[in-house]
Amino acid sequence: MKAGLYIRVSTDEQAKHGFSIRAQKDKLTKFATSQDWDIEDYYIEEGVSAKDMLRPELSRMFEDIKTGKIDVVLVYKLDRITRSVRDLYNILDLLEQHNCKFKSATEVYDTTSAIGRMFITLVASFAQFERENLGERVRMGMERMMEEGKFTGGISPFGYHYNKEAKTLVIDDDEAQVLRLIFDSYMRGLGEERTAKKVNQMGHTTRNGTTWTGKTIRDILTNPVAAGHLRWGGEVYRNFVDPIISEDQFQQCLKLRESRREMSPRAAGPSHYPFSGILKCGRCGAALKGQYRVGRVKEDGSRSKFKHYVCTKARGGSCDFKQISDTVVNDVFLKRLNQDLKDYQTALDKEKDAQQEVSNIEKETRYLEAQINKIQSRKRKWQLAYADEAITLEELKERTAEDREAHEILTKQLDELKQEQPDADPVYMVDALTDFIENWHELDDQEKKITLQLFVERVVIDAEDRRGTKTQLRQAWITDIVYK
C-alpha cells in the first residue's frame, strides 16, 4: 500500500507542544514501516495554520490522491490535517471517491467503517470547537488588556512607539514633531495635497521611508490617537495614550474637513476672487461679485487684468456703491484682522487669571466622557459573564439594550455640551487670527477663498465714492465682520 505522509506544524505549536517537523517525520516513517507500507511522498507544511485548506502541500497531496499515487493518508494527529468539520467532510469525501484511506498514527481512527467515520467526525467537531473557543478567549483577553491601558501589539500608530516592558504606547518625539506640523499646516489653510508637499519639502518621510501623499495625510488627520484616543476593534478607547495635540485642535481639524466637504461646488471650485460669496455691500447689504477689467496693450502684446468687486444691485441702479479693487479689499480686510487680533489679545490678557480654573463645561464634559467609558467597559463585562454562563442570553440582551440607550443619551448630552462652548474664545481667536494673518500671503487665490469660506461668515465693506489714483488709493473700511 502506498502511503502519503502529511506533516504540519505552526510556530506556536512547535514551541508549546513539541510537534516539530522532525519528530513527526520520524514517528510517521516508523509507523508506515511497521505496517509494511511504501512511502510514496512526504507532504510537509511548516508554520502554516489548519484553519482552512489553502495550503500548498495539502493541495499537492490531493492531486496525488486523484491520480492514484496514494492509497492511504497518514498523519500524526487528526488536527494536523484539519480543525474544521466542514473541511473534514470534504477530505473524507475526496478520499472515498478515489478509494483512499485515512489513518492517524497516535489515534484510533479507521475510515473503512461507518462507526469509524462517525467517530472521526465527532473528534473533528471538538477540535473546531476548541479553535473557536480559543479565538473567543484571545479576543476577550485582548479587550481586557485595552481596558487596562495596555496595547495588544501590532503596528504602533504614527507618533508613538511600543514599550515592551510596560506594554504601552509612548510618544515618539521625532514622529510627534511631524504630526504636529501636519495638523498645524492643515489648520492654516493648506489642503491635504499641499500639506503633503510641504512636509516632503521639509525632508520628512513616513515611517516606511516613503513620501507623504494626500491619503497618508488624511489618515493622520482623521486618526483620534493624536488627541490620545486609540481606535481598536471598532471601538475608540478615550485617553488611552498621552496626546500629541489638544482635543480642541483635533476637533477643529475634523470640523474643518467636514466644512470643506459640505462646501458647495461653486464656492469650493476654482476662483480668482477670494472674497466672492462672503463680501457684502455696506450700503444695501447685497453681495459683491468679482469681475476684472483689461488694461492697455503692452509692448509684448499682452494685457494686464485688474480684479475688482461690484455690488450686484448697482447694475440696476438700486445702489450707488462703486466698484472697488481687490487690492483695496485685501488691504482693509487684513487691517481689520490685525485690529481684531489686538482686541482679542487684550481680552485674553485680562482673563488669564480666570482661565487658570477649569470651567464648569469642561468638568461636565470630562464627567460625561467617564460615564461613556464605564458603559463601554460594562458591555464587555456582560459578554464575559455570558461566556462564563453567569447570566443568560436574554439577560445579556436586556442589559446590552439598557447600556446602549444610556450610551446614546450621554453621547447626545456630550454633543450638546460641546456646542455650548463659546465660539469666540479669546485663546482660540488669538491663535486662529495669528495663523490666518501669517499665512495669508503664502496662499493662492483658491486657497484664500477656501480659508475665508471656513473662517468668516461675512465681511461688510463700504468706501468713499471717489475713485482711487496711482498716488492716492480709495479709502475703504470694514463696517462688520462675522467669524464662524
Catalytic residue numbers read 10
**Cα pseudo-dihedral 295, 297, 301, 303, rounded to 10:** 0
Q: How far is it, in rounded angstroms, from Cα 94 to Cα 66? A: 8
Cα–Cα distance measured from residue 413 to residue 207, given in angstroms and rounded to the nearest whole number = 39
Task: Name every residue whose Cβ is closer than 8 Å to that of residue 187 and which is 6 or more positions away in sequence.
Answer: 249, 252, 253, 256, 435
What is the CB neighbour count within 10 angstroms for residue 483?
A: 15
70: Cβ–Cβ under 8 A, 6 or more apart, which residues?
A: 2, 3, 4, 40, 41, 61, 64, 100
Q: Torsions phi, psi of 413, nearest 5?
A: -60, -40
Grid cell in block for residue 120: 472521526
Asked whether 189 and 451 are in contact (CB, 8 A), the reply is yes
Q: How far is C-alpha 403 from the geometric centre of its chain's CA atoms? A: 26
337, three cell numbers: 484682522
**What is the 3 state secondary structure string of 263-313?**
CCHHHHCCCCCCCCCCEEECCCCCEEEEEEEEEEECCCCCEEEEEEEEECC
For 51-113, the DSSP string reads: SSS--HHHHHHHHHHHTT--SEEEESSGGGT-S-HHHHHHHHHHHHHTT-EEEESSS---TTS
Residue 45 near residue 20 (C-beta atoms within 8 A): no
Strands 230-232 and 235-237: antiparallel
Rounded to an integer, what distance in angstroms lies between the CA atom of residue 125 and that of residue 90? 14
